[in-house]
Structure formats: C-alpha cells, structure tokens
Chains A and B, each alone.
Chain A
C-alpha cells in the first residue's frame, strides 16, 4: 500500500512539473505584455525599462532557469495585473471554486445514483427509457447557454434569483445547477450501465435465488460493485469542474479560479496564468490520488496488484 502511494506521488510530481514547463513556454509565445501595460505611444526607453523590470529582456533559457528556481521556492513572481504575488492570488481564488465543485458533485451523485439504479431495475421499460433519454439530454445541454437561459427566466423575467455574484444563497443556485448539468447526465448513465452488469452477475443471481428482497438486492449487493466505475467517472468529472468554473465565472461573475484565469489570460499576466494552472494541476493530481486510494480501499484486487 505504501509503495503504491509512493509511486503514485512520484508520477504526480513529474506530471505537475511537466504542466508547469509546458505552460511556461506557451505563455512566452505571446511575446512581452508591454504593449498591453504601457500607454499608447510610450517611448522605446519606457518599453525597455518595463521589459527589464519584469525580466522579459533576458534570453528565454535564462528566464526559464529563473522561473524554475522560483517554482522550487513556490515563488511564481508577482502578478502584473493584480500587483501582488501570483500564487497568493491564485490560492485565494481556490476555496470558492472548491466549495462550488463539492456542492455540485455531491448534488450530482445524489440525483444520478438513485435515477441510474431505478433505470437499471426497470431496464428497457418506460421508466428506463424516460430516464435514459433525460440523462442524455442533460449531458447535451451547452452549460454556458443553460446559464444564460437560467438568467433570462429566473432572474430577468421572474426576478427570483440575482444575476451575478456570490453574496447570497440564492446566487449559488444557478452556478451549482450549471455545474451539475453534465455530471448528472453522465453519472446516471454510468450507474445504469454498471448496475445492469452487476444485476446480471452470478452473485446477485445467487442472492436473488436465496430470496432476498429486490431493494436489498439492488442497494446492498449490486450498488456496491457498481460504485467502482462510478468513482472513476465522478473523479474525472470533478476535475472537469474547473471547465465549468470558467463558464460560471464568465456568465455570473462568480468569484473563483475560473474568473481569475480568464482575467489573467486577457491581461497577459504570465505569472498569474502559471500560478493558477499550477494550483489547478496540484488539485487535480491530489484528487486523482484520492480516487486511486478509495479504489484501493474498496477493491482488494487493486491493492494486491
């Protein structure tokens, strides 16, 4: 178990370093952000001074070495846009996004698992067809569009919810619903598929033959085994919630890492882009380790191999 964890940690560090290196070179392709920060018609001397101040005049390899040295000390430099340490700004944006993702993922599982199980029990009958079609539909709704239509109906026309921000509980409703959309659809289908497999397997047939009640059969026996594929997909979707956070940040001006990243890209704030992607990368890697660990705890076969 310990070796498993150690090996997992080593590959994770390699992955995060890879992400950081790639992002560094990508960001440098955009050229110096001097044009964006200096007033139009600034003198060439001002440009030179700006580039010198922020180290953009050095050869690329030297910028890279300095950058790596900084990363080792967890120093990504100062954000030009926010005028403060980039990592600090990125770290501060994480909690609202994490909370949002946690609520959305819990909600998605709470809706998807019972629906998927119900569909599997009534395979190919009317209830299953309705659930399958609805889950395909929710997974096909463009999230940015759902967010806008939600604003149109619930905020503008009915005046029930605020259009932006995170000040009140009501302002969390649409962002959470937007993030839940795709996971609910996908997880319902995964639950259904895994439950159908489990219900058809020998040990469930055996339990059925012993005369166990159908609900006990479904929830105690089949669902436990269906939990493993569900866990993998849920982990994947949880990591993907950063994508949703970017959309939610754009449409609702909902504070968090999504809004920060969009701002950083638009402002050519290299330090902040790098720090944000670093933090997101670390979060995703930790999440993956957590999923693997849960997997190992739940399934003895994984532990042994």
Chain B
C-alpha cells in the first residue's frame, strides 16, 4: 500500500505550508512595529496626532542655529517652509554643518520639537539624501 507514503508526503507539505505562513505572519507583524517613517518639517506640522514611534526628519540645518553644549547639541531643521527644533545626544557625523542637508532620527515631543537619537551621516560633500532633496522640493 502506498497509503503511508502519501500520508507522509501530505504531512510534509502541510508542515512546509504551515511554517511558511507562520514566518510570513511573524515577519509582517514585526515589520509593522519596527518601521521608521520619514517626514519633512512641514509634514510634521500637519500631523493629526503625535505618537511615541521613532521617526526620521530630513531637511537643512538652519544657518546659525547650531548650539553645542557639553552633553547635547541643539539645532533647527528647516525645509524653508516650516522648522523643527532638535536636541541631540550622540555622535555627530563630520559633514554635519549649518546650511547642509541632514537626517535626524528620534522621537517627537510635540510638533516643533524632536528628541533625536541618531544623526545620519552623509557620504560626501555633494551627496544629499534623496529624501532631503525631495523634502526641499528638488532645490
């Protein structure tokens, strides 16, 4: 009889199927929780509600806005329409500079204040993250 063999096959296929479904479910579930959205200062102004999720904000570092203290750095990110204050504790990439593009990652405290945990490095002088370029309207 081939009954046993067929049963084993079916069991095997079911097992594969179940594990595929399970892993996809797991992946999508934790994707939901761990995604970081990218917003421009203007988009933040228009947010309906502020939650505690991590976000990324991109734009220009406003001229003469950088204040360095021993344990933190404050600056303003602008997209030339709206601005957001950023306070940051952590290491600063070398190309962080006033009048240059920047991406800060952190948690929003209100619509005009971001507590950043990370500032992303650019790779060279001419390079600007596409998100920043877009947020600045292709300038």
Check if A and B associate: no
